[in-house]
Amino acid sequence: MDNWKNRLYESYVASGQALAGGRDSLPVNAIDPYFQQLVSRHLSPDRELAIADVACGHGALLSCLKEAGYRNLQGVDVSAEQVALAHSAGVTEAQCGDMGAFLRGNTGGFDVIFLMDILEHLERPELFEVLPLVRSALKESGRVVIHVPNADGIFGMGVRYGDLTHETCFTARSMRQLLASTGFEKVECFEDRPVGRGLKGLVRAAMWTVMTWPWRLLLLVETGRGGGPPILSRNLLVVADRTTVSQS
């Protein structure tokens, strides 16, 4: 890894980047409606699933998984500061280390691997090194869940350029291309719509639906075809299954 990146990751908390806003600014053990929805929609209810959170940050997702009753958890992150935050909140499943070494050491070990806000930090050659390792670390029926900046998003460039360590961003189309070429199938892409509790959450969701229609209509006018609903959120959620056929 480049020295300048190491320098930034080593001060990820001290520089304010790790707590810059959104879910990363929440206390580790805060109840996060987004993570709750993510877990309920995309994970099996089997609480014995072997789950890894690669680039787990300060452990917020791991904490949510523990709260939901999942017991077989591991997390890894390169930032010692963030792992220390996780440990201070009792999320001892987080460990400091290199994700490549972690994945190589757990071949066939996981039912689910989360890659939340990590792929955008990698250069293209690194993507084609890491994703095959992710595939190898999954069981035959395993699943990967990915969260990345969305180049098609109305405010997606704010995420893409909001961190000096970001190298790229993605669209649903480029994610399908990447995953299909690295050993994954049944790739599904989802808009990262507002999630919240109670009346406030319902209002935010309704406003998003209504206020994004002009962009959706404009895209239809430009292209002259549907091609499925565009994904306009700042971030993109992707879920894919490991192929059963070996990739050369």
57-111 pLDDT, tens digit each:
999 999 999 999 999 999 999 989 899 999 999 999 999 999 999 999 999 999 9
Is beta strand 110-116 parallel, antiparallel or unpaired with respect to 235-242?
Answer: unpaired
Does the pLDDT value for residue 26 go beyond 70?
no
Domain membership of residue 137 (yes or no) is: yes
Side chain identity, residue 96: C
Distance, in Å, from the CA atom of 140 to the CA atom of 239, rounded to the nearest integer, reads: 15
Task: Look at residue 4 in the predicted model and tell me its pLDDT.
Answer: 79
Task: Look at residue 190 in the predicted model and tell me its pLDDT.
Answer: 95
Total of domains in the chain: 2
pLDDT level of residue 240 (50, 70, 90 thresholds): very high
Mark whether 149 and 219 lie in a shared domain: no
Domain membership of residue 77 (yes or no) is: yes
Answer with the residue of higher pLDDT: 246 or 17: 17
Tokens at residue 15, please? 């520089």
Does the pLDDT value for residue 25 go beyond 50?
no
Mark whether 79 and 58 lie in a shared domain: yes
User: Average pLDDT for residues 11-27, to the nearest whole number?
Assistant: 60
Distance, in Å, from the CA atom of 246 to the CA atom of 68, rounded to the nearest integer, reads: 33
Tokens at residue 81, please? 């500061």
Domain membership of residue 105 (yes or no) is: yes
**Domain enclosing residue 210, as ranges:** 199-229
Average pLDDT value over all residues in the chain: 88
221-234 pLDDT, tens digit each:
888 766 667 899 99
Tell me which residue of 102, 36, 27 sits closest to 58, measured CA to CA.
27
Answering whether pTM is above 0.95, one says no
Mark whether 185 and 219 lie in a shared domain: no
Domain membership of residue 164 (yes or no) is: yes
User: What's the length of the chain?
Assistant: 248
Instruction: Give CA separation, 211 vs 98, 115, 151, 154, 223, in Å.
Output: 42, 30, 19, 11, 20
Mark whether 23 and 36 lie in a shared domain: yes
Mark whether 98 and 52 lie in a shared domain: yes
Mark whether 153 and 39 lie in a shared domain: yes
Tokens at residue 149, please? 């900046």
Domain membership of residue 11 (yes or no) is: yes
Task: Look at residue 115 in the predicted model and tell me its pLDDT.
Answer: 98
172-223 pLDDT, tens digit each:
999 999 999 999 999 999 999 888 677 888 898 899 989 999 888 888 888 8
Mark whether 108 and 165 lie in a shared domain: yes
Residue with tokens 């959450």: 201
Q: Which of these ranges, 53-62, 141-150, 158-167, has the smallest mean pLDDT? A: 158-167
Mark whether 151 and 55 lie in a shared domain: yes
Judge whether 220 and 226 are in contact, CB under 8 Å. yes
Mark whether 138 and 56 lie in a shared domain: yes
Domain membership of residue 248 (yes or no) is: no
Domain membership of residue 247 (yes or no) is: no
Is beta strand 50-54 parallel, antiparallel or unpaired with respect to 184-191?
Answer: unpaired
> In the sheet that 138-149 helps form, which strands lie side by side, from edge to edge?
94-96, 72-77, 50-54, 110-116, 138-149, 235-242, 184-191
Mark whether 213 and 182 lie in a shared domain: no
| Percent of the residues in the chain that have a pLDDT greater than 90, as a whole number | 63
Mark whether 21 and 98 lie in a shared domain: yes
Mark whether 111 and 167 lie in a shared domain: yes
Q: What is the dihedral of CA 72, 78, 83, 86, to 10 degrees?
A: -50
Longest dimension (CA), the chain: 54
Kindly report the CATH number assigned to the domain that includes residue 89.
3.40.50.150
- Give the start-end residues of each E strand in 78-171: 94-96, 110-116, 138-149
